[in-house]
Amino acid sequence: MRRIYMDANATTPLLPEVLEAMQPFLINSFGNASSVHQHGQQARAAIEHAREQAAALLHCQAAEIVFTSGGTESDNTAIFGILHPGDHLITSSIEHDAVLHAARKAQERGIDVTFLAVSSSGMVDPFDVSSALKPNTKLISVMMANNETGVIQPVEQIGRIAAEAEIVFHTDAVQAAGKIPIDVSAIGCHLLSLSGHKLHAPQGTGLLYVHRGTRFEPLLFGGAHERQRRAGTENVAGIVGLGKAAEIALAGLTDGTDERIGLMRGRLEQGLLAKIHDCGVNGAHRSPPQGAGVVAWGDAGQPRVPNTTNLYFDRLEGEALLIALDLKGLAVSGGSACSSGSTEPSHVLKAMGLPLSRARASLRFSLSRLNTEEEIDAALELVPTAVARLRELSPACKKHLAEAVAK
């Protein structure tokens, strides 16, 4: 069976160019970048080249890049590196667990945390950020794009609020990097997290952008690696892969790749909305017009990264649909966490005020440059068929039909 992967927000495969760039550093050029001899120098040069490539994606200085093991480590470094007991943190209720759970742990350690609510369209209101400020606020952490809905947050406005209040601003850009342009000066963030495996670099790679002069306590202590900001022998091949992936992602923002992904997302979303009753978009008031391109802005809906659509299919269980689609070869995501046998609806959709039944009936489709128009065509056949079949079987649907007949 042909398999179709539409779960790029979970992870993406390596691009062949990325693997090719990494390969020498897995076998022949295996040096430790801290070694003085030529093996070490080769590894060091490769890391510094990757740092330049990553900096270009974020429009920052190479020296402001600290390589980490991924988004989770970067987020944790931002939170635990800045805050001390008695400090106040402002974050949002729709952050990824890498921020949310770190913030809860910080609470246990005596840090005061405000979790901001979001609008029904999944956006943090900058006004709420201003209102939450306290004399002891030391950090604001609001993500750039949400992993489940793709909704882009007003980070530039939040950056201005942070600058005026002279507070450190961290943004988790894991789901934004490579999908929309990022300019750290325009955002005004001091810290920014990025993960390699969301943009076709290996899993276990990532970085933290640290604005020059921003003081923070490292998470890991040991050698003087990464200018004493992150101890541990560098993952040279992984870093080289991340650099190459960043270079490719940057090109993709202007060479038509990103736009093509946006057009495919638009066609998938519009097609499913047209074919399926009682189905809608989570995170957009209205659906973007066909071919909305890179971002569905303003009137057309909330701004979203171009690759993501989160849809609800009322009167069925999202998990059941996910499994039915997987059996037919289409991989998507449910956005809910299965723990001890019970399926918890997504905290993001709950924070947006979706009724639990609708949150449970939602699926995320997230595309990458590797998806094709043929795959969109296939999904436009598979999803409506699976939804119709499951609804026929669902008790909620039988009840709905019985009520309709009785009226």
Ligand X SMILES: Cc1ncc(COP(=O)(O)O)c(C=O)c1O
Catalytic residue positions, numbered: 338
Binds ligand X (CB under 6 A): choice among 7, 64, 172, 375: 172
Cβ distance to ligand X smaller for residue 196 or 384: 196
- What is the closest distance, in whole angstroms, from the C-beta atom of residue 245 to ligand X in the complex? 13
- What is the closest distance, in whole angstroms, from the C-beta atom of residue 147 to ligand X in the complex? 3
- What is the closest distance, in whole angstroms, from the C-beta atom of residue 206 to ligand X in the complex? 5
Binds ligand X (CB under 6 A): choice among 174, 199, 261, 359: 174
Per residue, the 3-state secondary structure of the chain, as one string, reads: CCCEECECCCCCCCCHHHHHHHHHHCCCCCCCCCCCCHHHHHHHHHHHHHHHHHHHHHCCCHHHEEEECCHHHHHHHHHHHHCCCCCEEEEECCCCHHHHHHHHHHHHCCCEEEEECCCCCCCCCHHHHHHHCCCCEEEEECCCECCCCCEECCHHHHHHHHHHHCCEEEEECCCCECCECCCHHHHCCCEEEEEHHHCCCCCCCEEEEECCCCCCCCCCCCCCHHHHCCCCCCCHHHHHHHHHHHHHHHHHCCCCHHHHHHHHHHHHHHHHHHHCCCEEECCCCCCCCCCCCCCCCHHHCCCECCCEEEEEECCCCHHHHHHHHHHCCEECECCCEEECCEEECCHHHHHCCCCHHHHHCEEEEECCCCCCHHHHHHHHHHHHHHHHHHHHHCHHHHHHHHHHHHC
Residues 301, 124: Cα–Cα separation, whole Å: 15
Cβ distance to ligand X smaller for residue 75 or 314: 75
Cβ distance to ligand X smaller for residue 72 or 270: 72
Q: Which stretch binds ligand X (CB under 6 A): 170-178, 339-347, 369-377, 388-396?
A: 170-178
Q: How far is CA 269 from CA 28, 138, 287, 321, in A?
A: 46, 40, 8, 16
Binds ligand X (CB under 6 A): choice among 137, 141, 153, 175: 175
**Hey, what are 68's tokens?**
């980490």
Q: In one letter, which amino acid is 129?
A: V
Residues 203-242 that bind ligand X (CB under 6 A): 206
- What is the closest distance, in whole angstroms, from the C-beta atom of residue 335 to ligand X in the complex? 11
Cβ distance to ligand X smaller for residue 144 or 294: 144
Residues 238, 246: Cα–Cα separation, whole Å: 12
- What is the closest distance, in whole angstroms, from the C-beta atom of residue 124 to ligand X in the complex? 14
Binds ligand X (CB under 6 A): choice among 58, 143, 246, 294: 143
Q: Which of 260, 257, 287, 272 lies closest to 379 in space, CA to CA?
A: 272
Q: Which stretch binds ligand X (CB under 6 A): 169-177, 341-349, 357-365, 371-379?
A: 169-177
Q: In one letter, which amino acid is 71?
A: G
Compose the 178-207 pattern: x for residues touching ligand X by CB under 6 A, - for all others.
Answer: -----------------x-x--------x-
Cβ distance to ligand X smaller for residue 42 or 309: 309
Cβ distance to ligand X smaller for residue 152 or 387: 152
Residues 247-286 that bind ligand X (CB under 6 A): none
Q: Which stretch binds ligand X (CB under 6 A): 126-134, 172-180, 269-277, 394-402?
A: 172-180
- 74 exposure class (CB count in 10 Å sphere: 0-12, 13-18, 19+): buried
**Hey, what are 114's tokens?**
């405000």
Binds ligand X (CB under 6 A): choice among 42, 121, 147, 368: 147
Cβ distance to ligand X smaller for residue 29 or 203: 203
Residues 14-73 that bind ligand X (CB under 6 A): 70-72
- What is the closest distance, in whole angstroms, from the C-beta atom of residue 213 to ligand X in the complex? 25
Q: Which stretch binds ligand X (CB under 6 A): 27-35, 171-179, 286-294, 339-347?
A: 171-179
| CB-nearest residue to ligand X | 71
Cβ distance to ligand X smaller for residue 304 or 391: 304
The answer to whether 360 contacts ligand X (rule: CB under 6 A) is no
Q: In one letter, which amino acid is 203?
A: Q
Compose the 96-125 pattern: x for residues touching ligand X by CB under 6 A, - for all others.
Answer: x-x---------------------------
Q: Tell me the site size for ligand X, rule CB under 6 A.
A: 14
Residues in contact with ligand X by the rule CB under 6 A: 70-72, 75, 96, 98, 143, 147, 172, 174-175, 195, 197, 206
